[in-house]
Amino acid sequence: MTSDHFDEARRPAVSALVLGAMTFGTLVDEKTSFELLDRFVERGGEWIDTADCYAFWHSPDGRGGDSERILGRWLAARPGVRARVRIATKVGAEPLWKGSWPAHRAGLSRRAISDAFAGSLDRLGVEYVDLLWLHQEDRATPIEESVDAIAEQVTAGTVRRVGASNHPAWRIERARAYATARGTMPIDAFQLNATYLRVRPGTRPDGVIHPHGVLSDEQLDFARAHRMDLWAYTPLLSGAYDNSAKSIPQVYDHPGNTRRLAALDAVARDTGATRGQVVLAWLVSQGIRPILGGSKLHQLDAALDGVALTLDETHLARLNSAD
């Protein structure tokens, strides 16, 4: 069993982009979802990211599962495509009943993980997933219990790799140490909110509920030191980099980002790319996989072009020094 770490020294390629299926089956209808998935595979994309709770906040019954069901129907309708894609899903954040999130969610106990993941496999119509994420930290459950629960799935052959989203670095370190001591597979992937701009200290973007959900310097250092695969959600600020109808959120309004935006504009002019494409290329240059949650084919094509863009040393130096 081999892991699939994204090496920042490797030439950027479309395989670095992750297709986020969060709103498939809710805001994005089945026909459009299939078109996006087909285009993603046609252009060489590999990783598709979903969760058992997606997208409960758009669902009439207040529960998740629509995204996984759409993916399951797409896989069933495309014989042979399973061998060409890698599926990642998450457990732990599904509300216990309509309107109960975030106070009352499934969590990461052994029973919760087992029950939730069985549901995911059924909806996806697959025998295994390539990566299973612990979606949100659960302080009510010892992390060791969660590690043991995932280890059971790895042993059963239903999980190939293990990741954690929205967790502090110290909890991941504890989980990794425990897994290593037990001879089981350690967490080797980290998913957090990240983009080129930086939030003001003490703030979080809308939609990032967890206090450790925004990539920090410590989490970045931890991931790099352990050669963990690092994934970034909402890397394009929901289109605000390029869509004049959308404002960059207030949490990014500070002098440091004024300089970063100027650098971003300069590199975009030099390369003939959009701001968003430069952001994606920059993330890839840092060894970070961006997750695209777009709902239109032209957005997907632009993102795939962005991760394929190679920034030269001058461009990277300008972007990295603009603080």
Q: Higher-confidence residue: 7 or 33?
A: 33
187 part of a folded domain = yes
- What 3-state DSSP class applies to 242? coil
Q: What is the mean pLDDT of residues 48-65?
A: 97
260 part of a folded domain = no
- What 3-state DSSP class applies to 40? helix
269 part of a folded domain = no
CATH of residue 301: 3.20.20.100
43-80 per-residue burial string, b: 16 or more CB within 10 A, e: under 16 = eebbbbbbbbbbbbeebeeeebbbbbbbbbbbbeeeee
The CA radius of gyration of the chain, in Å to the nearest whole number, is: 19
256 part of a folded domain = no
Cα separation, 20 vs 290, in Å, equals 9
Among 7-11, 69-73, 130-134, 291-295, the least confident range: 7-11
46 part of a folded domain = yes
113-145 per-residue burial string, b: 16 or more CB within 10 A, e: under 16 = beebbebbbebbebebbbbbbbbbbbeebebeb
What pLDDT is attached to residue 307? Answer: 96
What pLDDT is attached to residue 1? Answer: 37
pTM for this entry: 0.95
272 part of a folded domain = no
What pLDDT is attached to residue 4? Answer: 62
Q: Tell me the pLDDT band of 7, cut-offs 50, 70 and 90.
A: low
- What 3-state DSSP class applies to 80? coil
124 part of a folded domain = yes
Nearest to 135 by CA among 85, 97, 192: 192
Q: How many domains does the chain have?
A: 1
What pLDDT is attached to residue 5? Answer: 59
Span 189-209, pLDDT tens digits: 999 999 999 999 889 998 888
Full domain range(s) for residue 138: 14-250+277-312
257 part of a folded domain = no
